[in-house]
Amino acid sequence: MANEVIRMRDMHFNPELFCNYMSGTVLDELLCSYNGLPKGVNYMIIGDPGVGKTTIILDLLSNIRSFNPGVRVLFISAEMNEIDLAIYVQRFPKFQDLDILFVEAGFDEESHTHNLETIKRILERGWDIVAIDSFYELQGIIKDEEGLTLKKAESILLSLIKHQNKASNDRGVNTTFLTIQQVTKAGHFIGSNRLKHSITAMLELRLENPKNIYSDRYAVFSKHRRGDVGVRLYYDLSVTGDVYYNEEKFEQDRKLRKLQSTASSSLRQFADQFDRIFNHQQTRIIDNE
């Protein structure tokens, strides 16, 4: 059946869809131009090894859960097992209250695990926010277990995510996905163009000096349909219990970006005005000839 042509004015949405999830930290101001994590969207998180991608996501999930009673969040771990995450809980006790689904690949020929069916069944329960660590690892597990190509496994996962975005679950909630994705040694995104275009925003966690694991760390959006790109939010993972965000530095960087934007706009207006005057003079000269 062909898609029907529609007008946005004829579409109706529940106003609750546009009430964001708040975490109670300055990260809310980076996540969206009108603050908080939106509903029914897909945010991809990439970054340098050891920069703290998993910690940032678990901290965000914990904060949203505490700040918004009744919100259901799920962390799907396809990279770390229970023992790995136990180490995180020692440093961040609030992580112990999160709902976690551990997805592990079978390592022998007699293993008959069906993680895809388990994931489908659990997603059907209806979660407000689902975080996946990582998409590439989960894609590989599904590929091997179901005897598929990587492309087909990606297609299946994206279809699942899309259906959950549109509230196709038992609770009828528009699920938001926070998906960690691996990068190349050069720090570039791994994945197809289809995967890249399916996301609402790309959050990059970076080291100020990629060659020094102890250098300052910051979060910045390189793609964002709901907020600003290029604004840096510096953070520190050395504090036990919570991720520390540098609000003062964030405000300074945001103001600097606005000044740069204003200056660029003024320069464009000046250039346009110059072009109009120049073209007008050229026309007069030609007419006089």
Secondary element (H or E) of residue 132 = strand 129-133
What pLDDT, in 10s, does the model give residues 197-246?
Answer: 899 999 999 999 988 888 999 999 999 999 999 999 999 999 889 999 99
Give the separation between CA 172 and CA 180, rounded to whole angstroms: 25
Give the separation between CA 106 and CA 144, rounded to whole angstroms: 9
Mean of all residue pLDDT scores within the chain: 88
pTM score: 0.86
Environment class of residue 250 by beta-carbon count within 10 Å: exposed (0-12), middle (13-18) or buried (19+)? buried
Q: Which residues of 152-182 are buried (b: 16+ CB within 10 A; e: fewer)?
A: ebbbbbbebbeebbebebeeebbbbbbbbbb
Domain range for 120 is 10-245
What pLDDT, in 10s, does the model give residues 115-140?
Answer: 999 999 999 999 999 999 989 999 99
Domain match, 254 and 238 both: no
Q: Does pLDDT of 112 surpass 80?
A: no
pLDDT of residue 274: 59
Domain match, 145 and 288 both: no
Residue 4 lies in a domain: no
Q: Does pLDDT of 100 surpass 90?
A: yes
Residue 208 lies in a domain: yes
Q: Does pLDDT of 260 surpass 80?
A: no
CATH of the domain at 48: 3.40.50.300
Q: Give the dihedral of Cα atoms 36, 255, 243, 34; nearest 10 deg.
A: 0
Q: Which of 9, 7, 14, 2 is nearest to 166 (CA)?
A: 14
CB 39 within 8 A of CB 17: yes
Total domain count for the chain?
2
Give the separation between CA 282 and CA 214, rounded to whole angstroms: 59
Domain match, 262 and 240 both: no
Residue 103 lies in a domain: yes
Alpha-carbon separation of residue 146 from 117, 143, 243, 283 (angstroms) = 10, 6, 38, 69
How many helices (DSSP H) and strands (DSSP E) are in the chain? 8, 9
Domain match, 146 and 30 both: yes
Domain match, 239 and 263 both: no
Residues with Cβ < 8 Å from 27, sequence gap 6 or more? 60, 219, 233, 245
Domain match, 24 and 136 both: yes
